[in-house]
Structure formats: C-alpha cells, structure tokens
Amino acid sequence: MMCTKLTLVFSLLVLMLMVKEITPRVEFTNFKCRSVNKDFAEFTQCTLKSINRTYKYISGRVTLYKLPITKARVNFGLYKRFNGYRPFLYNQTIDACHFFKHQKANPVAKYFFDMIKEFSNLNHSCPYNSDIIVEKLSTDTVNHHVTKILPYPEGDYMLETHWMLNDIFSAVIQVYLTLF
C-alpha cells in the first residue's frame, strides 16, 4: 500500500515536470504598408519573414523624399476580428514630435512604442532627416507585451496606423496578428 502511494506521488511529480506551462502566444499573420502620397514618401521594404514555425519578424523602411520632417501626427487603432475587424480598446491620434519628447504623458502610445523602439530609428524627436526604419521586430517582443505587460484575450487583431508627415497624409501601416 505504501509502495503504491509513493509510486503514485513520484509519477505525478514526473508528469508535472514534463508538462510545459501553457501560455498565450502571438503570431504575425500579415504586414501591409501603403504609401498614400508617393511624391512624399514610399516604402522600399515591407516584409514579414518566417524563419521557422515559431519565429517570425517584420521589417519596414520608408524613404522620405521631402526632408526634414518637422511635424508628425499618427493615428493608431487596435481592431479585433468579429465578422470583420471592429475597433477594440484604442483609437488615438497623437502629435508624434511632442510624444517623442514627453513619452510619459501618453501611456497608451508609450505601450505600443515600447514594442518597436529597440528595433527602429525612431529614437529622437523631430526633425527627422533620413529614412524611417523598423528592422526585425520579432514575435517574441510583441508576445511579451501582449501576454505579460498588458494581457489581451485570444483572437485575431490588427494594429493600423495612419501617418501625417508635415501635414501631408503619407502612409498606412497594418500589422495583423493572432493571439492564441
């Protein structure tokens, strides 16, 4: 009797060590970039690269033709798929030049910016005198933000941004991802 209880306890311990913790995971499903005014700005790179089944990253580069950029406004909205993409939680327009100087003033924008700041050259305030680059933003980084920092429910999401540079509507960027 004692031997069977000990065997059962030992078996349960081994089983618990073998089972991985089940945590939500993010996967990029699509990445779209559209230049609205090609005389002002144009995307020279807009890629979603899959290295293996679990590691994907996105990269983007926009070439700016009318420099310097002294005014920048960004509208960002988060959408969740419910028979089409519907607004979910956030839809804000910010003055990007002001935001880069005073990031603590807008915690929602800071939450999204913190995902890309290590992977981009958007690390200073206006003026911008060169191309804007986001290089190899991985699912691991996004996964940490949407599961650990501010958890989201499972589902399909789209983050859409509209960029106005020097008062000219310039670009639309859409990042599609699945949280499961």
Give residue-wise pLDDT tens across range 119-141. 999 988 899 999 999 999 999 99
Q: Which two tokens stand for residue 78?
A: 């988060």
Closest CA to 31 of 133, 130, 141, 137: 137
Q: Which two tokens stand for residue 51?
A: 């290295």
Does an H or E element contain 137, and which? strand 132-138
pTM for the full predicted model: 0.85
Residue 148, pLDDT score? 82
Q: E strands within the chain?
A: 26-35, 41-50, 56-64, 72-81, 85-95, 132-138, 155-165, 168-179
Residue 157, pLDDT score? 96
Q: Which domain, by its residues, includes 171?
A: 22-179
Q: The CATH number of the domain where 34 resides is what?
A: 2.70.220.10
Burial class of residue 142 in the structure, from the number of CB atoms within 10 Å of its CB (0-12 exposed, 13-18 middle, 19+ buried): buried
Low-confidence stretches of the chain (pLDDT < 50) are: none
| Residue type for position 32 | K
Residue 9, pLDDT score? 72
Assigned domain for 55 exists: yes
Residue 43, pLDDT score? 98
Assigned domain for 45 exists: yes
Q: How many whole angstroms separate alpha carbon 62 and alpha carbon 105?
A: 27
Assigned domain for 1 exists: no
Number of domains in the chain: 1
| Residue type for position 51 | I
Residue 6, pLDDT score? 72
Q: Which two tokens stand for residue 94?
A: 């910010």
8-state DSSP, 1: -
Torsion of CA 38, 72, 158, 117, to 10 degrees: 110
Assigned domain for 109 exists: yes
Assigned domain for 60 exists: yes
| Residue type for position 70 | T
